[in-house]
Amino acid sequence: MRAGVWVLMLMAGSAIAAEWNQYGGEGGQQYTSLDQIRADNLQHLTPAWTYRSGDLNEGFTYKAHSFQANPVFWEDKLFISTSANTAIAVDAATGEQLWAFDPELPREIAYSESASRGVSLWHGASSVCPDRVLLGTLTGMVYALNAETGQLCSDFGDQKGWVDLGATAGASGDWLGDYSVTSPPVVVGDQLIVGSAIGDNQAVESPLGIVRALDVRTGSTNWIWDPIPRAANDPMRSEWAGNSADITGAANVWAPMSVDEELGLVYVSTSSPSPDFYGGERLGDNRYANSLVALDVKTGTVAWHFQLIHHDVWDYDIPAQPTLTDIRRGDVSIPAVIIVTKTAMLYAFDRRTGMPLFDVEERPVPVSDVPGEELSRTQPFSSIPPLASHAALTEDDAFGVAFFDKRECRNILREFRSEGIFTPPSLRGTVQSPGYAGGANWGGVAVDPVRQIAITNVNQIPGLVKLIPRDELDDLRASGELEGWQISRQTGTPYVMARRIFLSSLGMPCTTPPWGKLVAVDLLGGEILWDIPLGTIADLAPAFVPNFKWGVPNIGGAMVTASGLVVIGAATEHLLRIFDIHSGEELWSHRLPTSANATPMSYAVDGVQYIAIAVGGHEGLGTQAGDYLMAFKIGVGEIKK
């Protein structure tokens, strides 16, 4: 097929993407076919408007929430959800608020998850709310709202306008705040398909990680799929020793999903079974956990699956939205699904069959020395080079900005187990690299379908993990040895878990930078085109440390444009940046009120292209909370055709 025909086909296929009517744009590509904003007019790119929701996490007794919404666009309006799950519609040209719906989250309870990544849209025949906004909340509720007014749709959920997913998710005890919907459901036809975010590391018996298809008009359940094979005749049941498939929970789908309506498949990313860091109560590979799974949209049955982590004890959830695109092989266009992982690997599969488009090799990995644990002797590695280092860390890798903090870091590297990627948790302590936050995370991958380039941001900061015999915990706490560590009970196992990011007493990472990178991958050859440090330490380091461009921790994603631009915030720095997709050269930046730990999107109103991003900060990364939705456009009179 001639190259010109390819370009025309791809441009036609991406026209819908300009609407950005679903999370991540069409197929989750995080790509816009709009090209009015270009490298040659970026000097005129300025803020068009700033909207403030007023939601700054005030009044919550425990954990603050994070504004991570990817806005969706319909009829010159943007729709978002705030950090505390208020759904809002704003005028896309002016930023004026049109309506708001507050689900009134309880503020006195603890929440294990703290994110809200947006809402979904549905349009169809209905006498009540023919245009709907679908909102999932941190309390496990799904609301249906009139897209024009923000009022509850009275025909949804037994005439209430909402459905309580947590009430039927299994597990005994009070899981309020630990069973959440953090990513927007995916809409296909008249179905709403929704997963959940379940609190990690608490117990063997946790809520079911089921995926549900709801009737978008009534809220009734059409089908349920459980990532853990409970049925005796399921072919994956043999991958769970004894009765562990009956008692284990989670393996839930918390990341956004993607749908291929022509194939009738919904693609889901599953997470770790419970608990995350010890698997002695669930021996075996634990499939369908930690997998990319294609489900039939009509029935919820598995069409194909590919497990990317066997018997996970690293909290290596598959964290990102599966990205649908076409990959060219000669004159053939292959429908593909791409996924990036916390292990900093990128995989691509034929989305019809699940066959890898780049080789996947099973390689030997370190074994566990924890009594009761049995790991897989191998793990799957993509033939695409890793996006962050997989190497073992030694004393020579210790980093510090002063002699004393470098010494602290060196001592840990001397004492803790460190054998490279897949070094398992241990009783002596393990250096986990990439860390339990990744590698890549929910920001996923942005794909330019014309240039055949994938862009993703990754972290390169290790974590520290210890397993502690349950009867030793009180003494260790009393000694102060666990000060600054996150402790999880892992009820039902012999061990509690302690973890923290590998930082020195100055709050700086203990290993050589870069600590955060932006990486471009050639989808034709499966090679890395470029990788660059993402961000400076200006908003991270102590005041006496110079502002080095070392690359910093990041969460959020990138967007690519038809004009060859990569737009990204994500870093723990108060900047929005634009890079050249071919070279990685930084072309433009703009100072923000706080960090933008979200994914940008783009839309057009009256022939003018806008770029919008949620600027909400991130408590976990140490940046100030924000409530800003900001839009940018080329200044009036500076647009040249």
For 220, residues 6+ apart whose C-beta sits below 8 A from its C-beta are 214
The two structure tokens encoding residue 629:
């939705």
| Alpha carbons 45 and 382: distance in angstroms, whole number | 39
| Alpha carbons 9 and 386: distance in angstroms, whole number | 31
DSSP state string for 488-548: E--BTSSEEEEEEE-B-TTS-BSBPSPSEEEEEEETTTTEEEEEEE---STTTS-TTS---
- Residue 315 annotated in active site: yes
| Alpha carbons 401 and 619: distance in angstroms, whole number | 24
Cβ count within 10 A of residue 607: 7
What percent of the chain is helix, strand and coil (3-state, nearest 5)?
Answer: 10, 35, 55
| Alpha carbons 193 and 210: distance in angstroms, whole number | 11
Catalytic residue among 55, 276, 312, 315: 315
**Which uninterrupted H or E stretch holds 146?**
strand 141-146
The two structure tokens encoding residue 538:
């200006």
In eight-state DSSP terms, residue 39 is G
Look at the block and give the residue holding tokens 């995080």.
30
Identify how many contiguous H helices and E strands the chain contains and give both numbers.
4, 42
| Alpha carbons 327 and 106: distance in angstroms, whole number | 46
The answer to whether 591 touches 17, Cβ cutoff 8 Å, is: no
Active site residues: 315
